[in-house]
Amino acid sequence: MSSNHEDDVPSVPETGRGEAATATSTSTSTSPDREPERKGRVFEGYSDPEADVVLASDDGVLFRVHSYILKASSAGRAQSSSVFRDMFTIPKSDVGMQGKRQSQQRSEQLEPEPEPETSHIDASPNVLAVFLDMMHSDPVPTKMDSGILESIVTLADKYGCDVVIERVLLRASGGHLVTEAPWEVFRLAARYHYPQIAKLALSMMHCDKDQERKKMSTTSLQLDWIVEIPLNYLLVLVVALGKWENGRVNRISMMGHHPHAQLRFDPFHSPESAKEVSVYFESTYREIVAASGV
């Protein structure tokens, strides 16, 4: 399966929040050790002093964000699974007391608001930046690879941000990733139930750099390819490959050749055959959905 390649993502120009800009130092340390220098830096574009939440990446780079953006991005899930809403919503029992304290402060000499507590997120600065960008529907970096894609989707799933999963997969399906890493896009689309993106990814499998995957058939599926694919999508894929292979045999027979002469013909050897498999995939998916009454 794919692994994270977070270091492959280049630093994006310092042009604002949506383009994964570089981090700005809040320290004057000149230590040769770069890790301490990174810690406590604020990621440019996420430095709003009015923000009420501070997130820290795995190496201590800070992101100042508004809690309402985080909570809205996880609004599609049930209350019990909305991590950000739970993290940043004041319990009802505390609201009255907070209101009283605020009223008292207004009548007194107000002190500066305390710095928001920092919440640590297990993600690199680049992954966290794109994750937050997707909440604002900002563009995905053009050089994002499949490892970064999976890291963002996994992070979004962890925090219940379905809208981020949908946006990043839709952007991936419309960009270079679906042609450079179609199987990875298919696998993620299957895992998070986006059949149209899965179909599109299969139609691009002739571009896959893995020559063994392009020879995929009902008898040559490898465990490490399919281990993370949900059973229903795996079933649809196997049926689609079977339909393609059967159609291939029938066409060969009609041409007067021995019916078993081309059984090892690669399903994804060309755009035409890959497209055909994807069409079989869609029709099979619809049949299964109709039969199950979903």
- pLDDT-wise least confident of 180-184, 230-234, 290-294: 290-294
Q: Are 287 and 293 in contact (CB under 8 A)?
A: no
Question: What separation in angstroms does the CA of 206 have from each of 39, 42, 105, 228?
Answer: 44, 43, 66, 21
CA distance 6 to 46: 19
CA distance 177 to 146: 7
- pLDDT tens figures, 137-153: 777 766 788 899 999 99
**pLDDT band for position 222 (50/70/90)?**
confident
How large is the angle between the packed helices 146-158 and 125-135, nearest 10 degrees? 60
Report the 10 Å Cβ neighbour count for 144.
24
Q: pLDDT at residue 172 above 50? A: yes
Please name every residue paired with 63 in a beta bridge, in sequence order, or none if there are none: 55
Q: Chain-wide mean pLDDT for the chain? A: 76
Amino acid in position 278: S
Structure confidence at residue 79 (pLDDT): 47
**pLDDT band for position 192 (50/70/90)?**
very high
Structure confidence at residue 189 (pLDDT): 96
Q: Are 145 and 10 in contact (CB under 8 A)?
A: no
CA distance 285 to 233: 8
Structure confidence at residue 77 (pLDDT): 54
Q: pLDDT at residue 106 above 80? A: no
Structure confidence at residue 119 (pLDDT): 86
Residue with tokens 């964000």: 65
- pLDDT-wise least confident of 50-54, 89-93, 129-133, 247-251: 89-93
Tell me what the mean pLDDT of segment 268-290 comes to.
93
CA distance 171 to 141: 10
Q: Are 84 and 77 in contact (CB under 8 A)?
A: no
CA distance 163 to 167: 6
Q: Are strands 53-56 and 62-65 parallel, antiparallel or unpaired?
A: antiparallel
Structure confidence at residue 92 (pLDDT): 41
Q: pLDDT at residue 3 above 50? A: no
Percentage of the residues of the chain whose pLDDT score is greater than 70: 65
- pLDDT tens figures, 8-61: 443 433 334 544 444 544 333 333 333 334 567 999 889 999 998 999 999 999
Give the residue from 75, 99, 232, 242 showing the smallest Cα distance to 162: 75
Domains, the chain, with CATH or none: 38-103+114-173 (3.30.710.10), 194-292 (no CATH)
Q: Which residues contact 58 (CB under 8 A, 6 or more apart)?
A: 120, 121, 122, 123, 124
Tell me what the mean pLDDT of segment 163-181 comes to.
90
- pLDDT tens figures, 245-275: 888 767 666 655 555 554 456 889 899 999 9
Structure confidence at residue 151 (pLDDT): 95
Q: Are 54 and 117 in contact (CB under 8 A)?
A: yes
Q: Are 12 and 133 in contact (CB under 8 A)?
A: no
